[in-house]
Amino acid sequence: MITKLLIEQHFHGAYGVDFNKATVSDVLDVAKKIKKEGVGGIFPTLVTDTVENTKKQIKVIKDASEKQTEGAKILGVHLEGIFLNPVKKGIHNPMHFLAPTIDNFKKIADDFIKIVTLAPELCRAYMKNGENLISFLKNKGVKVQAGHCVGGDLTGCDGVTHIFNAMSGINHRGTSTSLSALINDNIYTEVIADGYHVNDDTLKLLFKTKPADKILLVSDSLPCTRTNASSFIFADEKVYFDGERATSAQGTIAGSTKLLPDIVKTLGKKGMFNPQYVENPYKYHKINLDGKLEWDEDFNIVSIS
C-alpha cells in the first residue's frame, strides 16, 4: 500500500519533549525524529496553560518553523485549551481557563495559531460587534473545533476534537456534541484510535456513520511517547505511564502514548483502516507535502520517500 506522508494535527509531544515547555531546538528535534517514522507534517498542540506561557510557547513553535530545514514540516499551532468547559476538563487545569471572548483570545493571538479547540456552548453568551469567538476565528481562517464541551450546537465549527473523549456522549433523548458530530456530514471528526480512548464497537459506529473523507486520525501523543518514563508532569499534574497508558492519579487518561503510524497499524490489523484517512488532513488544511509511504501487508512502513 502506498499513501502520502501522515499529518499529525493533535500532538502534545514525544521523545521526552512537551510542547508547553519545549525550546526551539526541542521542537526541531521532534520534527526530525517523527519524520523518520512517516509523519510529514505536525501541528504542535498546546494544553491549557497561563496566558504568559501560552504566548511564549507559540513563539517558540513559530520560531522553530522559521528555522527548520529538515524533518516534519511545522504547519502551525493547535491551541487545545483556555476556552474549554470545566465540566469536561479532562487533564486540563481549570485554574487557567478563560471566558471564550474575543478580547481574551487577543491576549494570546498569533497568526501561527491554525486550530483552536473550544467549548462552543460557552461562546454563544459572548458577542462583540455582532460576532463571537467562533465567527471571529473563522474570519481569520482558523479551524474551529468543538472539544472539552457538552453542547450539541456545532454551528460554525469545522470539526470536533477527539470525538467521544471529553465531550457529551450520545443520548437518545437529547442532543450532544458526539451525536451532532456523527450526524453532520460537514463536520470533520478527530478520533484517537489507539485501542484505549475509544473501544472497537464505537470506532465501528464512527466509521460506519461518518463519510470516510471526514475522519481525522490523531494521536494526542504525550511527551512520554517513545520514552521509558514512568511518570512526568503534564498540564500541571503528575501523570503515570505504565508502558501502555498514561493517566492521572485519579485515573483520567491524559492522552495517547502512540504515534500515528502505530495507530494506522492498530486499525489495519483490525480491518478498520481506510487509506482515505491519510488524505483527509491535506484537504482539511488545504496543504500539499512532498513524499510518500510504502506499507507492507502488516501495516509496517517499509519505505519513506
pLDDT given for residue 127 in this prediction: 87
Distance CA 38, CA 92 (A): 29
Torsion of CA 295, 4, 268, 217, to 10 degrees: 150
pTM above 0.95, yes or no: yes
For the chain, residues with pLDDT lower than 50 are none
| CATH level 3 topology of 2-304 | TIM Barrel (3.20.20)
- Over residues 174-192, the pLDDT tens digits come to 899 999 999 999 999 999 9
Instruction: Give backbone dihedrals phi and psi of 238, rounded to 5 degrees, phi first.
Output: -75, 130
**Domain boundaries, given as residue ranges, for the chain:** 2-304
Torsion of CA 153, 273, 226, 118, to 10 degrees: -10
- Over residues 238-262, the pLDDT tens digits come to 999 999 999 999 999 999 999 999 9
* CA angle in degrees (0–180, nearest 5) for 245-250-253: 30
pLDDT given for residue 240 in this prediction: 97
